[in-house]
Amino acid sequence: MATTTSRERVTKARRNKRNKGDNRQGRGEQLRKGVDPSDKDAEQFVEIDPKGRYGRYKDLLGVGSVKKVYRAFDQEDGIEAAWNQIKLGMFFDDEAMMMRTFNETWLLREMSHENILECYNVVWLDEEHDTLNFITEVCTSGSLRDYREKHRRVSLKAMKKWSRQILKGLEYLYTHEPCIIHRDIKCNNIFINGNTGEVKIGDFGLSAVVDNSHVAHTVLGTPAFMAPELYDEHYTEVVDIYAFGLCVLELVTMEIPYNECDTTVKIYKKVSSGARPQAMKR
């Protein structure tokens, strides 16, 4: 989680960036960053991690509100990975956002389950570019939403298999010590390996770690997937189960819940009044 020490490190990184005056980059520096000008056929790394194990390509796998995810390669094990990069300057003066940013990296490193996206215990601050970076496993077929849109003829049997895996991942979060409420369960934050059908929950940037009461209070999430009690600022992990149900609805109907609403206010009014999404009538 974000601490005073973490904030001081970020401050130091920004100061070092301002004071950095030597921009010379010879062949040795290019090689250090995974760029070999003499190898014209190889796909070049844009950058590598400080220990020289992981290289980042320019290909984007996904983009969030504060995070970009790039295709990467583990040179030691010879496998592809996901390079998560957060631009710290976007919210340096936003303490809450800074907390949530470090919260995600801390949570991922603490967890270990077949249906939770794995973090490879490689986290570092890039002082030159003012970014927080961490490496996770990559799900080859992207998010469950993109996968479902690509493959339109899917049996109920397959969707049940995906659903069971999501529930197993959620069960792990709720029996974890301490308990974790994801708070942003949606098909965009669930990932799949299409060649195996393996499903994993990811994107823990809005998650909450709660005590034995399992109660949280902050209003966070994606409006169409937020349970009514979330708006009341007093809720438990049950809000994730509500969102899971809407994920299943999306998988079956191929329609995002409350898609008929064109504003967040309209979604809130429907949810708070108990009105069901139109997709349920399909």
> Token digits for 130?
């003012």
Closest CA to 242 of 224, 258, 260: 224
**Is the Cβ–Cβ distance between 190 and 202 less than 8 Å?**
yes
Q: What angle do CA 73, 78, 82 make, to 5 degrees?
A: 30
The answer to whether the peptide bond before residue 257 is cis (omega within 30 degrees of 0) is no
Phi-psi sector, 117: left (phi>0), alpha (psi -120 to 50), beta: beta
Which has the closest alpha carbon to 257: 228, 220, 219, 225?
Answer: 225
Choose, from 49, 130, 184, 203, the residue flagged as catalytic. 203
Q: How far apart are CA 198 and CA 200, in angstroms?
A: 7
Q: Residue 140 CA to chain centroid, in angstroms?
A: 15
Tell me which H or E stretch contains 56: strand 54-63
Q: What angle in degrees, to the nearest 10, is found between the helix axes of 238-253 and 156-175?
A: 160
203 catalytic per annotation: yes
Q: Which residues are catalytic?
A: 203
